[in-house]
Structure formats: C-alpha cells, structure tokens
Structure 1
Amino acid sequence: MMIIVESKKKSLEKLSKVYPNAVILDVTSKAQMPWVKFSPFYPHGDIPVPNCSYQAMSVEGLWQGLKVFEHEDIDLKSFDNRTMKNIKRTVRKHGQVKGHRFGIGSNDILPYIEARFSIYLPAYGWILDNKLQDEIAEIKKIMQLNDVVLLDYETNTDPYNTSKPLSHAGLIQKYIQGEWPVRAIN
C-alpha cells in the first residue's frame, strides 16, 4: 500500500473520491490525538538543540528559536513554548532572516538548506525515533490494508526546494518508506 501527502486545504469529499480506499490522517496542529503529535508545533519535550546542551519542547520552537534576523538573534523562550501558539518569528517584526544559528553560543549562522539538514531534519527525525514509534507502527498497520493519505498545510516533500516550506507529512512519508533525506556532499 501507499502513503500519500495531500493538502489539508482540499475537501475531505474530494480526497475521498480521489483515494476511495485510503485512510485519511490529518497530521497538522489542528488534528486530533494521536495524530496531532506529528505536528512540529506539538510539545514533546526533550528535543536536543544541536551543538549545545539545551533541549526544546517542539521542533518548531527549536527551529524558530535558532532563527537569526537582521534585528534580533536567537530566542531562548521559543524552546520552552508548550502552547503550540505564537511560535513563529516573522520578518515583519524582526527584519530579514540571516540564517539559523547552529546551537546556542555558536558563531555559525547556517544558510537555509544547510539549516534544514543540520537542524530541522535531525530534530524532526529525533521525534519520529524517540516520541512517535507507537504512532508510526499504527500507520504501518493501517498500510497493511489501505493506502494512507497524510494531510498537511504544506506539500513540498523535497528538502532542496526552498520555494516553499517543507512538509512534515512528507518527512513522515519518507521515514516510513526508509527514504529519509540525507544531504548530498558536493
């Protein structure tokens, strides 16, 4: 059976027609338990912040916390956000993004692609490995009989495509299929 990534913006009626034998799972921050746990905003806790001894509550809090702007450096408060709200830090408020700091106290500010591979992917992979094994097993069990459609607000499954945010549903898909993205060395 297959695992497919689709936009949460599409109607369930339309998706049910396109995938009549599929189980549709919303894995966004608006989902129900247990699938909401796949959201990068979900406060799992204990997520290692790279290149330092800190931990973050959520993948998104880690990602946003290490973001460096034109007018503001990292934000340690982002690591502790447990609410799934008010996590994003915007260019409107803080100026243009310069990159992501590779850990607290690091002088290294990583460009976007490098930050995806050095910060975001390891953090999201960590929650899949350490916090979501029961839910992964449940998806695999469903896939024994049905296709699975994962709903996400983003559908970009290519970590090298920076024109759109990366789909965490796409990362779940790649994880289950044994195709976790690894940075190509040039």
Structure 2
Amino acid sequence: MIYVSSKRKKNETILKAFPNALIIDVTSKSSDKWIAFSPFYPHGNIPIPFSNGEISNSVEGIWQGLKVFQNMDIDVSKFQISSMKNLKRTTKKYGKILGHRKGIYGKEILNYHDARFQIYIPSYKWILENKLSDLVAELYRLSKKNDIVLLDYNINENIEDLSKPISHAELIKMFIENKL
C-alpha cells in the first residue's frame, strides 16, 4: 500500500503509524533521486497547457507563471527557472489572486478549481508519464513488497477539496493506483 504523510512529522511517529514502511521524501528538500517528484524540479520541456508549443522547466513554474493577481498579470520568467528557487508569487507582493490565465496568450482566467484540474493536475500527470516513468515503475514495484509512505508538505487526500493546497504525493499515489 501507498500512504501519504506530512514531511513535518518525525520519522519515528510515521513508523509508529506504519510499521516497517519505506519512507520516501518526494519534496524539494529530498536528498536523493525522489526529489524528481517535486513540482519544483526542473525536468525541462514540460508543455504549458493551452499554450501551443510553449514549455516550462517545472510544474511549479507553470502554476506560478500563469497566476494572475490584482496588481500583476502572468510572469513568463517563472517558466525558465531551473534552480527550484524564487518560483512562488504571493498576494503580499501582488494583491489578491484573480485566478490562472488559461494559457500564456489566453483571455480567460480560470478559477482555482478549474485551474487545478485544467493546469496543475494535467501538467503533473504529464511529468509522471513522460519524465518519471522509471521512478513511477520503481515505486509501484516497491509498493507490492512493502508499505510506502510518501512525504509531502501539503496533505490533502481529496483533490476536490479546495480549502487545502493539492498534495503532489497524493497525485503520485492516485497515479500508481490508476485513479488519476
């Protein structure tokens, strides 16, 4: 089985809940190959939804780059960042979030729900299928032998629950279980 738990918990606490499980950190703070599952990871050449031929280095670059604020439109520079740093764009700096532009050249601004399902999830699923297929296969094989706990900062088992940020670890779990 695959489970998702908070990166903020101590390993001892996680192992108490999931004895003998393999704990795999899939965040941007991971110190091994599993870091590639982070939305911040610069895989490169990720198609930007609704943007005919345009690409980004990371999923987070797409998400942040297409975000539209009260005082700032999209930021195409986010698509080229490969350092995993300086990707976030905040309301403190740019005002209220209006939504996400439906593509670089689009006129429509998607609400949070629609952006999650039309931009973030398809972009993340694309890297699982096209950039991470070997690691996904390895996780699948490992999950058949052991329980696995994927660590993430955001824990949200329900991708429809907009009150919490989406958990990319949950997306990995759903993908491996053919539920995404």
Smaller-chain TM-score range?
over 0.9
Aligned-partner SS, 2:144: coil
Say yes or no: does 1:61 pair with 2:61: yes
- The separation in 1 between residues aligned to 2:138 and 2:159, in whole angstroms, is 26
Letter matched to residue 7 of structure 2: K
* Counterpart in the other structure of 1:3: 2
Structure 1 residues not aligned, in runs of 5+: 181-186
**Cα displacement (A) at 1:140:** 1.2
The runs of 4+ residues in structure 1 deviating greater than 6 Å are: none
Letter matched to residue 46 of structure 2: I
Contact persistence 1:113–1:159 (CA under 8 A)? no
Aligned-partner SS, 1:143: helix
* Counterpart in the other structure of 2:13: 14
Provide the aligned length of Structure 1 versus Structure 2: 179
- The separation in 2 between residues aligned to 1:146 and 1:43, in whole angstroms, is 29
5 Å-filtered alignment, 1:36-47, equals 36-47=35-46
* Counterpart in the other structure of 1:183: none
Structure 2 residues not aligned, in runs of 5+: none
* Counterpart in the other structure of 2:109: 109
The worse-fitting range, judged by mean Cα deviation, of 139-148 and 70-79 is 139-148
TM-score normalised to structure 2 length: 0.98
Letter matched to residue 157 of structure 1: E
TM-score normalised to structure 1 length: 0.94
Aligned-partner SS, 2:161: coil
* Counterpart in the other structure of 1:145: 145
* Counterpart in the other structure of 2:178: 178
CA-based RMSD: 0.7
5 Å-filtered alignment, 1:51-130, equals 51-52=50-51, 53-130=53-130
